[in-house]
Structure formats: structure tokens, C-alpha cells
């Protein structure tokens, strides 16, 4: 009986030792954490900068920094609070205000970065000491501004199949915007693209504002009259109509008369349903080219075009016509 009690004690003793070890480990870790949080550390933080209110008639030819890099010194506890924050408050610089200060001379202006940051502790919402910043000053170099209108092209990815007989139109408002830069830069630009819009669901109408995408190498060198455009994507049913249209003869000499048989063709045209009332003969042009007669063809091919936006010619009957040439 006594030997059994001794074995039970031996069996329980290692468990107590392990438990005591983990308690000591937790206490040590807690004391280390307290010590670490009370120490002083240095770290570099990136403070985002936004430039607004650019002066009219002036263009900044140098690239402005998107961030100010600040070396700070603070305790571990305050640094931990700073790291837990998802973002740092942005500094906004009024460019017009900068050039109206005494630091502006001719085509150059500068602002001291430390003065710009001001109370860093207030900006970061925690008590820190500022060691240094980079850059130590922000320079503005102004040059002559040229303007140009460029086309905005949407980037839309549609991940569903549009049913047969459904019309899809993408409209951009505004379709053109004004850009400002030096003459060499704007000469290279005719088109800018929107950010990519991905559509996964079929809706009757989509209307959404989207940012204009400026190439990274032009960031800070080109100013846009607007940063966003509105995309409208309309889905509408097709309407179909058959219209009788007279056939015209193109490129015929004045001294020659050409008779066409038949003189009219039947044109089947489709367009969005809301344009159905616009489907009429005056909006459609059917023609044959007199130059085809040089090959001594018995019949001439009829070409049809429509002035109705988004319309589509689906059938021409007949596709070829006979002709008779007479000298006048």
C-alpha cells in the first residue's frame, strides 16, 4: 500500500514541475515585454502628402514626393500604438498658398518640410521626437503650361454572356477631358484609360464613377481637368425593321447615264429598341460604284450604310443589281 502511494506522488511530481515552468516562463515574458515597451526606439514612418489648388497658368515641371519620410524616436509602447494604426493622417499642401509666400521667386518656390509637418505628435496622435525628415524641403519648379483634349477609353470586363438580341452600350461622361503639361509630354498623349471595371452580374443598367488611370511615369507631370468619369452601361433589346431604300450610283461620269434594276433594295436593319422610331429611309444610304463596270460585270454590288448610331445592317435584298449605261 505504501509503495503505491509513493508511485502516485512520483507520477504527479513531473506535472507540477511542468506547470511551474510555464508559470515562470509567462512571468519572464511579461517582465520582458514591460522592459521592451519602456525602452526608446527609432523608426522611419512614411507620411502621405497630397498637393491641391494648383495655380492657374503654371505647371510644376519637377516631380513632387508622394511621401515624407520621418525618422522618429519614442518608447516601445507608443511605437506599438503607432504600428497598430492602419494609416497615418495625410498632409495637404495648398500649392497656391506656397507660391504666395516669400520663398517664391520667379519660377521656383520651396517649403521647409519640418515647418510643414508642424506638431508631429499631434499628427501621429502619440508623443514622439522628430530626428530628421527626408526630403528636408519640397521644391516647386514652375514652367509654361500647355493644354490638350484627350479621349477617355473605358476598360470594362464583363464576366457573363449577354443574351442573343440584347444590345450593350458603354457610355463615358465626359468622353474627353483636358490635360495640362509641357508641350513634349502632351504631344505623346491622345488617349487615357479608366481603371478596370469588372462586372459579374447582369443588370439592365449600370452607372458608376471610376478613376482615370494616369501612367505612373506621368504622375506629377500631367494635370487632369477631372480625376473621375461616369460609366453608363445600358442593356436594351434589339428592334428590327425592313426598309425600302433607293440605290444611288457613285463616281459616274457626267456624260453617262446609269439605270439601275431594281432601283430600290430592301434593307433589314437592327438597332436598340429606343431608336426604333429613327429607323427610316433617310437615315440609310444604298449605293453602287460605277468603277465596278470597268470589269464588265453583269451586276453591281450594293453597299449600304446607316447614320444611326449603334445600328447594324443584317440583310440586303437584292445584294447585286443590274444596270444599263447610256451616253447623254
- Chain segment 58-104, per-residue pLDDT in tens: 677 777 888 888 887 776 666 666 666 656 777 788 877 777 764 55
Give the model's pLDDT for residue 285. 93
Report CA torsion sign: 226, 230, 231, 237: negative
Q: How far apart are CA 29 and CA 72, in angstroms?
A: 27
Q: Which range has the top average pLDDT, 35-39, 111-115, 182-186, 302-306? A: 302-306
% of residues, the chain, pLDDT over 70: 74
Grid cell in block for residue 192: 487615357
Q: Which of 281, 282, 278 is nearest to 310 (CA)?
A: 278
Contact 113, 138 (CB under 8 A): yes
**Res. 190 pLDDT band, cuts 50 70 90:** very high
As a whole number, mean pLDDT of residues 185-213 equals 84
Residue 41 C-alpha from the chain's centroid:
40
Give the model's pLDDT for residue 106. 57
* CA separation, residue 274 to residues 167, 203, 234, 271 (Å): 11, 17, 11, 8
Grid cell in block for residue 136: 528636408
Q: How far apart are CA 260 and CA 30, in angstroms?
A: 100
Domains of the chain: 38-144 (2.170.120.30), 146-237 (2.170.120.40), 238-327 (2.170.120.30)
Q: Among the listed ranges 7-11, 51-55, 324-328, which one has the minimum average pLDDT value?
A: 7-11
Contact 91, 41 (CB under 8 A): no
Q: Which of 192, 172, 271, 216 is nearest to 63 (CA)?
A: 216
Q: How far apart are CA 155 and CA 213, in angstroms?
A: 10
Run of H or E including 167: strand 166-173
Residue 206 C-alpha from the chain's centroid:
17
pLDDT at position 131 over 70: yes
Buried b (16+ CB within 10 A) or exposed e, 69-79: ebebebbbebb
Q: How far apart are CA 182 and CA 61, in angstroms?
A: 8
Q: What share of the chain is helix, strand, coil (3-state, %, to 5)?
A: 25, 50, 25
**Order of strands across the sheet that contains 137-144:** 58-60, 137-144, 108-112
Between 241 and 17, the more confident residue is 241
Q: What is the pTM of this model?
A: 0.45
Run of H or E including 184: helix 183-187
Q: Which of 167, 188, 168 is nearest to 179 (CA)?
A: 188
**Order of strands across the sheet that contains 129-134:** 91-94, 40-52, 67-75, 129-134
Question: Helix 2-38 crosses helix 76-84 at what angle (to 10 degrees)?
Answer: 80
Grid cell in block for residue 9: 506522488
SS3 306: strand
Amino acid at each position: 500500500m505504501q509503495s503505491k502511494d509513493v508511485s502516485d506522488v512520483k507520477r504527479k511530481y513531473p506535472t507540477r514541475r511542468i506547470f511551474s515552468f510555464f508559470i515562470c516562463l509567462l512571468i519572464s515574458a511579461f517582465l520582458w515585454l514591460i522592459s521592451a515597451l519602456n525602452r526608446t526606439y527609432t523608426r522611419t514612418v512614411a507620411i502621405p502628402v497630397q498637393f491641391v489648388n494648383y495655380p492657374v497658368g503654371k505647371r510644376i515641371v519637377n516631380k513632387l514626393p508622394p511621401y515624407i519620410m520621418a525618422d522618429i524616436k519614442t518608447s516601445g509602447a507608443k511605437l506599438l500604438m503607432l504600428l497598430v494604426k492602419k494609416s497615418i493622417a495625410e498632409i495637404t499642401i495648398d500649392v497656391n498658398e506656397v507660391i504666395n509666400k516669400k520663398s517664391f521667386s520667379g519660377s521656383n518656390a520651396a517649403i521647409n518640410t519640418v515647418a510643414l509637418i508642424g506638431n508631429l505628435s499631434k499628427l501621429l496622435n502619440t508623443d514622439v521626437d522628430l530626428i530628421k525628415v527626408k526630403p528636408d524641403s519640397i521644391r516647386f519648379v514652375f514652367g509654361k503650361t500647355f493644354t490638350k483634349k484627350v479621349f477617355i477609353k473605358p476598360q470594362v470586363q464583363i464576366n457573363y454572356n449577354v443574351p442573343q438580341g440584347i444590345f450593350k452600350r458603354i457610355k463615358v461622361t465626359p468622353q474627353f477631358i483636358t490635360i495640362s503639361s509641357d508641350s513634349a509630354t502632351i504631344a505623346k498623349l491622345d488617349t487615357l484609360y479608366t481603371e478596370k471595371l469588372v462586372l459579374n452580374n447582369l443588370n439592365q443598367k449600370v452607372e458608376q464613377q471610376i478613376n482615370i488611370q494616369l501612367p505612373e511615369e506621368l504622375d506629377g507631370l500631367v494635370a487632369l481637368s477631372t480625376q473621375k468619369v461616369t460609366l453608363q452601361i445600358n442593356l436594351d433589346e434589339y428592334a428590327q425593321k425592313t426598309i425600302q431604300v433607293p440605290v444611288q450610283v457613285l463616281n459616274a461620269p457626267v456624260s453617262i447615264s446609269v439605270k439601275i434594276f431594281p432601283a430600290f433594295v430592301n434593307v433589314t436593319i437592327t438597332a436598340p429598341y429606343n431608336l426604333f422610331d429613327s429607323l427610316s429611309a433617310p437615315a440609310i444610304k444604298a449605293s453602287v460604284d460605277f468603277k465596278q463596270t470597268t470589269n464588265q460585270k453583269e451586276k453591281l454590288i450594293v453597299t449600304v450604310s446607316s447614320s444611326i448610331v449603334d445600328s447594324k445592317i443584317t440583310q440586303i435584298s437584292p445584294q447585286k443589281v443590274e444596270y444599263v449605261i447610256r451616253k447623254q
